[in-house]
Chain A
Amino acid sequence: MSQQQKPLTAFAVLSAAAASMALPVADAQAEARPDERVISYRNSQYQEDDAPASRTFNGVTDRYSVNVHQLGFDTPIADDWYLTSELQYETMSGASPMQTYENSDGQSVLVMSGASIDDTRIDLKLAPTRYFEQGTVGGSVAISSENDYQSLAAGVNGSLALFNDMATLQGGVSLAHDTLSPTDPELSTARQQADGATKTTVSLFQGVSLVLNKDSALNLGLVATHSSGYLSDPYKTDDRRPDSRAMLALSSRYRHYLRWGPGQENGWHLDARWYQDDWSVRSQTLTTRLVSRWTGVHWRFELTPMLRYYRQSQAAFYGLEQTPDANNPHSSDARLSTYGALALGLSSELGWKAWSLSLDYQTYDASEGLALVGDTDKETPGLVDYQLFSLGVSYQY
């Protein structure tokens, strides 16, 4: 989930400070290979709130809960090589929406999957990176296995530091190939048709990071993604999505550092993202964080409140007809409707010598009304509210 922050060497800390003193500093270095090995463990509990009882068809209101264990190990593997690896084990249970339709009173009715679904997922990710004087070249492979879903992914990425590290170009390409094998195929023809179906996703990323001045930095990124193959949800009723999807996202991340004296450092982050795809989903995200860091000789403490607003407009084929035309694309998946969401979070991290302990909490509320603009007169009881709580510990040596 969150990327492990590598502690800086004394040289890195002091040269950054010296650089900010308007002194000539030769040999500004690009990102150097970390020397530390880091072992980390994180447990996250994700809990969705119950579906609204007054809008569910069969009285099932329990939604998903997911328990995630992540074990990470990062290590130098050769002179200029560094490997990050992560093993993730997830268990999930609960019911999920099968269909939403509008009844004759204009209310939306949510049909939940009857029995609780129990599943486990195992992910393994390996990402070696080679550090050069002026940049990095990295690769990644990931394999993910679930009862009804297998995924293989690989990618390459690189970065290049320019103008004395004042600008860094980033780029990457990744490829994922997924295979479906829905459980209980006798329950629907959609499940039978999806058995053995595949989905291929290619993603291209380009970005640039700019140091604006000694206190601020900006990162701009553009991601183009294309998925093709079986893109529907076989567990939903009348879910027929186009067999390709082209997506484009532009993101900007702004960082402003506020130094308030020794041992106290603050940063203000503002992230914005614009997204659109050829299913006519458009979304905008705005996230802001205030990072406060207190540092002593052997300890450090970081507290970060976060506020995020998200909105999107619905896919062209989103609809709430109870029996839609079988010849046209259709979905009543709430994630393709017009809605908005607010997330509030608080992250904390306590470091002591080589140890670090982190505690994070996030609450997320989605609703039709939060879309603020767009077609929101239809009820969307399938939208999910959730709480996420995670506890992590890491040790470096």
Chain B
Amino acid sequence: MVTREVIQEVAEGLWRCHFTALGGPCELHLGCDDRRLTQQAAAAVEAETRRIEAKYSRYQPDSVLSQLNARAGLACPIDAETHQLLNFAWLCFQQSDGLFDISSGVLQQAWDFRQPRLPEPQTLQPLLRRIGLERMQLQSDQVQIPADMELDLGGLGKEYAVDRAAAVCQQLGIRSGLIDFGGDIQVLGPKADGSPWLVAVRNPAQPDQPLAGLPVYQGGVASSGNYERGFDLDGRRYCHILNPRTGYPVDYWASVTVVSGSALLAGCLSTIAMLKQATALAWLQQQKQAFLAVTTDGRQHRWPDQPSVE
């Protein structure tokens, strides 16, 4: 699937491959001496990514997720992979005291971030009533959601795909590299010379500029920020991360970046931190995972206090 043109040897034994999927750029930086193996890995990663997209995209009507939403109100049989993802989403819901909720995607109907306009309360209210993952009944082989509920794996799917891509590379024996799907990152292992990858964290005030470079030897990195989608109105930033209880955007953090065991973990921890607003700082510290969080007024909090490369 990946053509030779998009695989470049950018340095001796370091390959860059890219393709577009999941609504954005997907990049692999693989440390490997063997061009054929790199091609094989890139093709396998792209195939796996497209499989995940076809299965869980909410924009493809025949995806497993769309089918579940179409059959809301009925018990639907599910496979082991879907069960694991939904169970993970449930645990995120539980661990975030209900803030991380994959049934809150319906709020996008009220918010159009292309236009700086606030939704009417009477538009939000009926949508809020449809949210609440506690009403999902999940068993290992079936799931039932209420007839008015809609699930959206947007908050986990890309990170999951990154981790699956890493698993594919590891299975092929590639131990050095970095996988970057639109800022959700998994580092397979250090560079060939043993040095860490430098992962740039965006400056939320100027998203084109890096705020810091985090050296990462292995593991996942993900950022959640108010710069991704949103609009400014009357001096306030309205971003796409919405509190499922109020229906309004969160506004305490400009961005939260977490380095953890995998992209999926880093992603859910950073999103939960955004949703937890001011209480996130103590919560993040408890998780004992490296983070860099920036408030909307520009204050930075990081743990541990390791020097980063500016």
Contacts and interface: CB of A to CB of B under 8 A. Distances in A.
Given A14-B91, A15-B265, A24-B166, A262 B136 contact: yes
A260 interface: yes
B218 A14 contact: no
B289 interface: yes
A262 B90 CA distance: 6
Given A24-B167, A35-B286, A18 B262 contact: yes
B95 to A, nearest CB: 4
B288 interface: yes
Interface residues of B, number: 45
Interface in B238-293: 260-262, 264-265, 268-269, 272, 283, 286-289
Interface stretch (B21-29, B137-145, B195-203, B229-237): B137-145
Interface stretch (A295-303, A343-351, A360-368): A295-303
Given A15-B265, A23-B164, A24-B166, A10 B96 contact: yes
B286 A25 contact: no
- Counting chain B CB atoms within 10 Å of each CB, the highest count among A9, A11, A23 belongs to A23
Contacts of B164: 23
A25 B164 CA distance: 11
Interface string B83-98: 0111110111111111
B287 A10 contact: yes
Interface in B125-179: 134, 136-140, 160, 163-164, 166-167, 170
A295 to B, nearest CB: 7
B224 interface: no
Give the interface SS of chain B, mostly helix, strand, loop or mixed: helix
Interface string A1-14: 00000000111011
Interface in A147-196: none
Interface string B204-236: 000000000000001110000000000000000
A29 B261 CA distance: 9
Contact of B84 (A10, A20, A25, A26): A20
Contacts of B262: 15, 18, 23-26
Contacts of B186: 24
A11 B220 CA distance: 13
Interface residues of A, number: 29
A66 interface: no
Nearest to B93: A297
B93 A261 contact: no
B261 A28 contact: yes
B288 A23 contact: no
B219 A26 contact: yes
18 contacts: A10-B272, A11-B260, A13-B94, A14-B265, A15-B265, A17-B91, A18-B262, A21-B88, A24-B167, A24-B170, A24-B186, A24-B188, A24-B262, A25-B261, A28-B261, A261-B138, A297-B98, A297-B134
Given A15-B262, A296-B94, A297-B97, 12 more contacts: A9-B288, A10-B95, A10-B96, A13-B94, A14-B265, A21-B264, A22-B167, A23-B160, A24-B188, A261-B87, A261-B139, A262-B90
Interface of A: 9-11, 13-15, 17-18, 20-29, 32, 35, 259-263, 295-298
Interface of B: 84-88, 90-98, 134, 136-140, 160, 163-164, 166-167, 170, 186-188, 218-220, 260-262, 264-265, 268-269, 272, 283, 286-289
